[in-house]
Structure 1
Amino acid sequence: MKDNHSTSRAPAYITTEMYRPSYQPILIGALSNTLEWYDFIVYATMSEYISDNFFIFDNKRDALHVTLTLFGMSFIARPLGGIAIGRFGDAIGRKPALLLSMGIMTIATTAIGFLPGHASLGVAAPVCLLIARLAQGFSAGGEWGVALSFISEWSPPGQRGVRMSFLSLTVTLGSLMASGISAILMTQLSPTQMLDWGWRVPFLLGGAAGSVMFGLRYFADETPIFQAHMTNSRHRKARTRNISVGKLLLASGFSLNWTVSYYIFIVYLPIFARTHTNIRSDHATWSNAITLISIAFLIPLIGALSDKYGRLPFFRMSCLAVITFAAPAFWLIVAFESLAGTILAQLTLGVAIALYSGPGPALLAELFPTESRSLGAGLSYALTATIFGGFAPLIADWSITLTGSIYAPAVYAMMAACVSLAAISFLPETAASQLT
């Protein structure tokens, strides 16, 4: 399967005139996807306050573990969303599927913002919270593959790396928004105010913005490549073709370093700093925000470079960086317990994430054909995120308790990077390929 000079030929019905030079479709897909990921990640930034409101334990550590378990359980719904919304997007259209995922995410996020806690609803409160999180996971699982298909099919050859890097950028920007708003609230409000009502504000803001983004998606155009594919009689039967299991597993192995690094170094690391060191909560959150800004700056640059120099070299550099620097970064945070040390550690690991995130979406889009792109790309990423990424914060914190070592989360990330490095050796170089 390995082919370092792959230049797959597009079907005759896919022409260069189908690609729109304007960035308007990219921006519509990207802005809405930013909100999707903001809604999904803000739960983690508010996890400490959610645990106090929804779970009654004598030990606050146990309450946090249950809250992180719910964070991970929401990932169980991601493959289901990847299958259901992905198939819907491949069969009916990218635009209807994008509207469906945005609608589900907006309703679920708003519901969390208004949901009463354990003091009012008792055991029903965490049950309702779980249902809302499963809905968010279902939406996020379907969103990724459909948004990836939508943006790739508007991107001309030779520009897919830079244009599709905006999809990774939306994940970073969504997380940045979640971290930034959370940091502002934690700085401006007292701990009592945050616990009483402040934690709800990010969810309600996300729900309100979701209504606006739903309207933007409603007025977007369907991709010409998908329209041509649907009307081409020779390819109608191909829409039901099964996805290669080998390609799906290879794409999942490739995604492993991507997802584990993100959820360990961006989602869990601030929690680690707040709970295992004497670093202030707002300092840990600001470090996360600064790191995300840096990642956001690097992603389009690396995406553009991958169009010129290929995708694979950047993936290899990312894996090697995680293997080399993950353990020293955790040592630096614990040894100095300072804002500067935390920022330096996170920035180092953030570069590794950017190296993967820049060209990553383009590669996934180029691996799968039009008739199964939404399902294939979405499901492969969702499976990896569910099994290894979503539970990464819980696994990381539990592994520290089990082993007594602060380096346990770093070892987990290093192992994931090793697996992805092996998978990359079987991947074709797709930078010069045509969508099929």
Structure 2
Amino acid sequence: MAAMIGNVLEYYDFIVYAFLAATLARNFFQGDKYGGLLASFAAFGVGFLARPVGGAIIGRIADVHGRRAALLITIFGMAVGTAGIGLLPTYATAGALAPALLVFLRLVQGLAAGGEWGSATSFIVESAPPGKRGFYGGMGQASIAASSLASSVVATIVSASFTADQLDAWAWRLPFLFGGILLPIGLYMRRNIVETPAFTKVQENLEQVERTSKSDALGMMSKAFGFTIIWTVSYYVMLSYMPTFLGKYAGLSTTQALMSNSIALAVLVAATPFFGALSDRVGRKPLLLGCCVGFLLFSYVLFRVVLGGASFGSILAIQIFFNLFIAAFSGAGPSALCELFPTYGRTTLMSIGYSLSTAIFGGFAPFISTWLIGVTGSPIAPAFYLTAAAIVSGIVISTFRETARERLR
């Protein structure tokens, strides 16, 4: 629970930016047209550039000094970055300094987030009882989805409660300040956790630990990198970018787009632990490959339906459908990645491979989607991005051996 609650707080802080991208474009990048929106999403992506660095540094702290120390560092860094954004002057007040400070605070958030996922996932999966790593890993991932839900709900409430002028003038700050206020809760929860049995056992027998060679480590990180592509692309296209996409191209109001996103996210949160438990029974690969096949077959068709004037109900059903594929991957994914690495270097190696892929393909997913639409002149372009990601990750996952019934190394 300590790791999960921290996940909710951390990723709420990191993701809420995406739901307010258009408002931030008007306040920091002089408009929400193509150029301003592109700049706003670029700043969103910059936070991801720091994630591999944070994953390497904080992941190493987790592997040497313990998961607990790393988890305390990450939650503090994220809260500082988020509250800072809520207090920033806008472009109208500070000129070019305003977007520069925004980018800096996104980098602070990125460093914290880079260490958070690997540390929290290692902590949760290593703490799981035998035969339940998938379920526990799915619970951890559900908490991250819950943070997206919390971000979406808060953004929906703020959007519905204030006029457009009030939102642009000052109300956009409220979701960011709320994230900073929650810091004491996360610190209290994580201060009292104990180390995992797997980490403790390794620390007690360091002289007997078989060190991973550089070539083996590079190979494992490469697999994690390819594995993560469809996971992160689907997550940030379908969850973070969709409210902006639906408002701009599907004719939904801001409140409708955020409401649809919130309902679909609630389904994702509920379904992810179920798929995690299912992966303990049927294995990780069937669910992981099923997600890849789903996005390969349905992305273009269903995006075409959305753009063809679909009703709110139809759009919601399509979002839920896609989120079930994401839930299948998110349920099996954390345990599958943890099982790929040895305990001694798990957090460092896993964080680097995962965070690097997330930085390139996930963090810039809204930017790439917006850019692709501008280049092609067609709003269907994000579907091709999802399809390509599904093909690459599917090929990588097909090379994995099934590890659901193996012991953690």
Q: Same fold (TM over 0.5)?
A: yes
Native 8 Å contact 2:63 2:345 kept in 1: yes
Deviations 1:263-296 (A, max 9, x none): 1111112111111232111111111001101111
Report the residue type matching 1:33 in the other structure: N
Aligned equivalent of 1:359: 332
Within 5 Å, give how 1:110-259 maps onto structure 2.
Answer: 110-235=83-208, 238=211, 244-259=217-232
Task: Decide whether aligned partners of structure 1 residues 393 and 233 sit closer, same or farther in structure 2, where only a CA change above 3 A counts.
Answer: closer
Residues 97 and 146, structure 1, Cα contact 8 Å, conserved in 2:
yes
Deviations 1:246-270 (A, max 9, x none): 1111121111110111111111121
- 8 A Cα contact 1:91 1:239, kept in partner: no
Judge conservation of contact 1:329–1:346 (CA < 8 Å) in 2. Answer: no
- Structure 2 residue aligned with 1:4: none
Q: Please tell me whether residue 383 in structure 1 is matched to residue 353 in structure 2.
A: no
Deviation at 1:214, TM superposition (A): 1.2
Offset of residue 210 of structure 1: 1.9
Provide the C-alpha distance between the structure 2 equivalents of 1:126 and 1:90, rounded to a whole number of angstroms. Answer: 35
Superposition RMSD in Å: 1.5
Query: What is the CA distance between 1:119 and its match in structure 2?
Result: 1.6
1:12-411 correspondence runs (5 A): 27-57=1-31, 60-235=33-208, 238=211, 244-411=217-384
Q: Which runs of 5+ in 1 are unaligned?
A: 1-26
Q: Which runs of 4+ in 1 moved over 3 A?
A: 235-243
Partner amino acid for 1:44?
A
Q: Is the Cα–Cα contact under 8 Å of residues 289 and 398 in structure 2 kept in the other structure?
A: no
Q: Secondary structure at the match of 1:67?
A: helix
- 1:350 maps to amino acid: N
CA drift of 1:243 comes to 5.5
TM-score by length of 2: 0.97
Counterparts of 2:210 and 2:290 in 1: how far apart (Å)?
Answer: 41
Q: Distance in 2 between matches of 1:134 and 1:338?
A: 38
Checking the alignment, whether the CA contact within 8 Å between 1:106 and 1:210 is kept in structure 2 is yes
Contact 1:279 1:337 in 2 (8 A): no
| Higher mean displacement: 378-387 or 243-252 | 243-252
Deviation at 1:234, TM superposition (A): 2.4
Distance 1:44 1:340 in 2: 23
Q: Distance in 1 between matches of 2:30 and 2:11?
A: 28
Q: Separation in 1 of the partners of 2:247 and 2:300?
A: 18
CA distance in 2, matches of 1:257, 1:298: 18
Listed one character per residue, the Cα deviations across residues 179-217 of structure 1 (whole Å, up to 9, x for unaligned) are: 001101111111111111111111111111122101210
Distance 1:242 1:139 in 2: 28
Give me the whole-angstrom Cα distance separating, in 2, the residues matched to 1:401 and 1:231: 56
- CA shift, 1:337, in A, is 4.5
Change (3 A) 1:233 1:278: closer
Q: Give per-residue Cα distances to partners, 1:27-69, cap 9 Å, x unaligned.
A: 1101111111110000001111111111225x73211110000
Q: Tell me the distance in 2 between the aligned counterparts of 1:70 and 1:100.
A: 23
User: How far off is 1:335 after superposition?
Assistant: 1.2
Change (3 A) 1:243 1:174: farther
- Identical positions, percent: 38
Shift of 1:221: 1.2
**Count of residues in correspondence between the two structures:** 409
| Structure 2 counterpart of 1:416, from 375, 384, 389 | 389
TM-score by length of 1: 0.91
State the Cα distance separating 1:229 from its structure 2 match: 1.3
Secondary structure of 1:430 counterpart: coil
